[in-house]
Amino acid sequence: MPELSHRRRMLVLAICCMSLLIVSLDNTVLNVALPSMQKELHASVAGLQWTIDAYTLVLASLLMFAGSTADRIGRRRVFQAGLVLFTLGSLLCSLAPNLESLVAFRMVQAVGGSMLNPVAMSIITNTFTAPRERARAIGVWGGVVGISMAAGPLIGGLLVDSVGWRSIFWINLPIGIAALILTWRYVPESRAPKPRRPDPVGQLLVIGVLGALTYAIIEAPSAGLTSPLIVSFAAVAALSLAGLLLYEPRRAEPLIDLRFFRSAPFSGATVIAICAFAALGGFLFLNTLYLQNVRGLSALHAGLYMLPMAAMTFLCAPLSGRLVGSRGPRLSLLIAGAAMTASGVLFAAFDAEATTTLMFSGYVLFGLGFGMVNAPITNTAVSGMPRSQAGVAAAVASTSRQIGQTLGVAVIGAVLAGGTVGAVASTSSTSYETGFMEASHPAWWIITACGLCVLLVGALTSGAWARGTAHRTAKRLEPAAGDSEAAPDAPVQKSAGTSADA
């Protein structure tokens, strides 16, 4: 990549942050709009789950593929294609005539989204080559997530109450178009010097595992656990997983290098990411439906109620980053696990929803925990890895986050749908409230278990023994990574405008 001026690097960072903003906002504003979508599109709980999981499922399946494709054919080119698809998908979502169309258009969005965040991070790390500058740039990048968490519920609530749920997709259009034009004008093209070869079989097996498992979980309450349909999809998921475990070790450059999992910090980061984001997905899904459908709040008021959680996430995320930098990931993980577990216990054992003070306390605790957990996930995943393998390890951590959110919404939604026994679809508000509250208790215990898992796995995989396994794993990976260990990015022709600003 050609050397850029400070002003140009800051502009590249801003463009990459724009892509992260629209993707992050899209998730947070969508949750606030779920009850309105449910009423207008006559959607069941499973239908609402699919509006979220159709996106996260496709995103999780394609993240690593998009990253390797960008390394091979050009990062700017793939990034621009992602912006086009995401913006087009947003427009189509706003025009969706029914639930089925909305789910399909969300998948179009996800294909574009898979080309944005991992590729943008790759652009940032190759634009900011000095360690201190890169750390600051990644800190700004992480801050955008906090901004979207804080602003998303408010923006979503305001749009849903004033214009309607379709307007939540409109905000992506001007940002996406502006980012596309600025990318063409200012972001230089770059490729990896030795890109990984494509692994289509591994990619199909990953899609088989995630897709079949998610479908079985979401549809089980209505179809029945023992129905031929659910059993068939569960079998497809199991066979795909077995195929992945058998096939990937035989490839020289697999989609997922299973040797990574010999590192306790890497395996721990994967489990922690899945558990933390499963808790987040379930937490937002439960509370959005509770605040609007049970308490009868408007979308805007529901967003305001969620502000303590979002504000704590926004404040704690940079604090966690500094803590990880100075003391390592252990303390952040322990605080995160303890806070998320305590939040779940408040709702599961003490009916925090019934008392506004307790409910806000639960929101603050969850926001504290989630704000502390995100920074150490990537740090722990790449701990001890050779530098040439750090990007792949970080990509697996990002994929694990999306898998966690997918499974969280699927499992919590399935428990909610199965526990209400028709009360959620009832026209009686009393029946709805009673059924929802009864069904939410086991859901909150699941969220509590996720928080406890973060605490225990974080403690186990961040000590001296775990660091030793990471060191031994890195030594095994080093020979395969040695050829590209220190190779710089291969420069290609500059983008339009490079000569004027570099």
pLDDT of residue 54: 93
What are the CA-CA distances from residue 344 to residues 62, 350, 369, 430, 452 (Å)?
31, 10, 11, 25, 9
Give the highest mean pLDDT range of 68-72, 247-251, 444-448. Answer: 444-448
| Structure confidence by residue, pLDDT tens digits, 25-74 | 887 789 899 999 999 999 988 999 999 999 999 988 998 888 888 888 88
DSSP secondary structure letters along 332-376: HHHHHHHHHHHHHHHHHHH-GGGSHHHHHHHHHHHHHHHHHHHHH
Q: Measured at the alpha carbon of residue 484, what is the angle toward residues 480 and 489, in degrees to the nearest 5? A: 155
Q: Measured at the alpha carbon of residue 238, what is the angle toward residues 223 and 453, in degrees to the nearest 5? A: 90
pLDDT of residue 425: 45
Other CB atoms closer than 10 Å to residue 249's CB: what's the count?
12
pLDDT of residue 1: 53
pLDDT of residue 192: 76
**Looking at the predicted structure, is the pLDDT value of residue 132 above 80?**
no
Mean pLDDT value of segment 81-100 = 96
2-16, 402-416, 459-473: lowest mean pLDDT where? 2-16
List Cβ neighbours of 320 (8 Å cut-off, separation of 6 or more).
332, 336, 371, 372, 373, 374, 375, 376
Query: What CA–CA distance (Å, rounded) separates 124 from 120?
Result: 6
Contact 152, 300 (CB under 8 A): no
**Helix or strand run (H / E) with residue 191:** strand 190-191
Mean pLDDT value of segment 379-389 = 68
**Looking at the predicted structure, is the pLDDT value of residue 314 above 70?**
yes
Contact 333, 459 (CB under 8 A): yes
Query: What is the band of 418 on the pLDDT scale with cuts at 50, 70, 90?
Result: confident
Contact 297, 287 (CB under 8 A): no
End-to-end CA distance of the chain: 11
| Structure confidence by residue, pLDDT tens digits, 317-331 | 878 878 887 888 899
Closest to 183 in 3D by CA, of 16, 9, 22: 16
Q: Name the percent of the chain lying above pLDDT 70.
A: 88
Give the largest Cα separation in the chain, rounded: 67
Query: What CA–CA distance (Å, rounded) separates 376 from 382?
Result: 10
Closest to 190 in 3D by CA, of 124, 262, 144: 124
Query: What is the band of 430 on the pLDDT scale with cuts at 50, 70, 90?
Result: low
User: pLDDT: is 339 or 31 the higher one?
Assistant: 339
Query: What CA–CA distance (Å, rounded) separates 348 from 364?
Result: 16
- The pTM assigned to this predicted structure is 0.87
Which tokens is 125 given? 């790390």
pLDDT of residue 494: 38
Contact 242, 208 (CB under 8 A): no
User: pLDDT: is 210 or 147 the higher one?
Assistant: 210
Query: What CA–CA distance (Å, rounded) separates 254 from 206?
Result: 12
Query: What CA–CA distance (Å, rounded) separates 176 from 188?
Result: 18
**Looking at the predicted structure, is the pLDDT value of residue 20 above 90?**
no
| Structure confidence by residue, pLDDT tens digits, 477-499 | 765 444 444 344 444 433 333 33
**Looking at the predicted structure, is the pLDDT value of residue 168 above 60?**
yes
pLDDT of residue 231: 96
**Looking at the predicted structure, is the pLDDT value of residue 147 above 90?**
no
User: pLDDT: is 73 or 391 the higher one?
Assistant: 73
**Looking at the predicted structure, is the pLDDT value of residue 86 above 80?**
yes
**Looking at the predicted structure, is the pLDDT value of residue 135 above 70?**
no
Per-residue DSSP letter, 74: -
Mean residue pLDDT of the chain comes to 85
What are the CA-CA distances from residue 281 to residues 67, 284, 314, 406, 468 (Å)?
24, 5, 17, 7, 33
Residue 188 exposed, middle or buried by CB count within 10 Å (0-12, 13-18, 19+):
buried
Give the highest mean pLDDT range of 17-21, 55-59, 85-89, 156-160. Answer: 85-89
Other CB atoms closer than 10 Å to residue 476's CB: what's the count?
11
CA 346: distance to chain centroid? 25
